[in-house]
Amino acid sequence: MRSRFAALFLVLPMLSLPLRGQLAAPHVRISQGELEGEVSTMGPLVFKGIPYAAPPVGDLRWREPKPEPGWSGVRDATKFGTACMQPETPLMGIPRSTMSEDCLSLNVWTPSLTPTVPAPVMVFIHGGSFITGSGSQPQFDGSNLANRGIVVVTINYRLGIFGFLAHPDLSAESSRHTSGNYALLDQMAALRWVRQNISALGGDSRNITVFGESAGASSIGYLLVAPDAKELFDKAILESPSIVFQPSPELSKEYRGLASMESIGVAAAPHIADLRSLKSEEIMERGQQAAEKVFAAGIARARLRPETPLNNTPFVASPWAPFADGVVIPGQPAQLYAENRAMRIPVLVGSNTNEGNLFLRSYHPKDTSSFNAWVEQAYAPCGKQVLALYEPQSPATPDQIHDAADRLLTDSIQLYNAFSIARGTHGFLYRFTHVSPIGEASGMGAFHASELVYVFGHTHQPDEHAPMLQFKPADHRLSDQIMTMWVHFAHIGDPRLMMSSDWTRIGSNGEVPYMDFGDSLTVKDLPDTSLQIFGALWPPSGKAPTCAKR
């Protein structure tokens, strides 16, 4: 264990703060026309619901995003745009009435339209398993980061079947002979818009950091190896990425590929015209039916997908996620990283220590034998080797078995992906171990997404899911430290301030230093040998697992 640090932050970069007395509605002209925004209650100027691409409806459904043609007069930018089409879920709390296929918009929080020095820009990509979520969710309000001299942008992108449908008819229509991955193309279009327009909003168009959580972080993992994304951003922060380094054997012998994803599209409709004539809700139902066909033979390994409850048999795994189509994503991401084909930019990536708990809420094994059987099946053909590392001692209580499942899912999904991306980009690695009030009250620990309230500085606001729980001074202090690191990284590509050089980028010498965000900040070492079993199970080459040969 490395040394602890008693005093890490003496100065905060409070740059370009807005005048609190500035009450007049701010106006700005961008390439598409004039916008009227508002002064947020917390100080920054905010412009909401700005279209960054033409509505992907009608003939533009399942096509690459097209430029928004613009408007005449002054556009009202005081209301968020509609969320993209998605299932209604209690966790997200996005009602169907606020959804539409016309959803390709973004939101901007800026400390000033006329700063002395243009501000660094941070573009956030939301999570939601690629099937839910929106950039307008309250937890992504960018005011606190903007108050630290950052221009913050949040975006919407197409989700589910609208964002990832591949189909032979669509591939035949495409000049690049591919289809799917429209969500990634949307994200690139938003980043291209930021490059072209953010200077009018006080941002530095030459200093753009993209950051995201869960599916948003996974998206960045794909963008880092996407040829079309080069030159669209300058730094990247990935919070709890998954699936980038994991195959989906049920979809393709070569992980995910265009042919396997096209077969799902054909299962939804033999001809694309049949889908284009349907309403949004009917299309989502077709997508669900197609998933049921794909996973009808069993979804043992698909259950490693974090959105999939382990023992919820009526639940059908979602096939809608990025994949290697040969063009947008030219090959299997794990292999592209192994071949040093990822963008050479500063990267900060990490995960939380109890990621699995959020996905284990329905998993209540009663004995060690049921846990062992699941591990051997889910991680075949390396199940016995994985079990040797994670099997609880027998006899074990249900709580001990649950803890083993949490540790295994956390390590194999988020930690393995975070470590692999850090290694592939020589990035900084962190682990979020602090237990928030809701994590403590629920027994879920440092669960998936629990770091977001600290990143966005919302510890002074009641948690929307648990308003009775109050954050403590330690929570406020940790939020301040994390925000300071994220902002400093956005400035210069290095999260460290007056900190020991022990927290270094991941190299190739076998040492894996990471910053532990706990009750105190501590640099620790993660032996990469602890994750070697997952590299053997999911070789970057896409070939058969090597552990069975041992």
| Residues belonging to the active site | 214, 355, 448
DSSP label at residue 67:
-
* Contact call for residues 198 and 110 (beta carbons, < 8 A): no
Q: What 3-state class would DSSP assign to 111?
A: coil
Q: How far apart are CA 444 and CA 416, in angstroms?
A: 20
Q: Which residue has the tokens 């097209």?
A: 66
Query: Tokens standing for 209?
Result: 């950091």
* H or E segment to which residue 191 belongs: helix 182-197
* Contact call for residues 357 and 442 (beta carbons, < 8 A): no
Chain CA centroid to CA 82, Å: 20
Query: Tokens standing for 472?
Result: 């403590």
Query: Tokens standing for 471?
Result: 């954050």
**Nearest CA among 432, 380, 433, 373 for reference residue 405:** 373
Neighbours of 61 (CB within 10 A): 20
* Burial profile 364-392: b = 16 or more Cβ within 10 angstroms, e = fewer: ebeebeebbebbeebbbebbbbbbeebbb
* H or E segment to which residue 276 belongs: helix 272-276
DSSP label at residue 84:
P
Query: Tokens standing for 260?
Result: 């396997």
β partners of residue 38: 46
> CB neighbours of 246 closer than 8 A, spacing ≥ 6?
304, 413, 416, 417, 538
Phi and psi for 44 in degrees, rounded to 5?
-65, 160
Chain CA centroid to CA 342, Å: 17
* Burial profile 433-464: b = 16 or more Cβ within 10 angstroms, e = fewer: bbbbbbbeebebbbbbbbbbbbbbbbbeeebe
CA end-to-end distance (rounded Å), the chain: 32
Task: Name the packing angle between helices 416-425 and 215-223 (round to 10°).
Answer: 30
Q: How far apart are CA 150 and CA 108, in angstroms?
A: 10
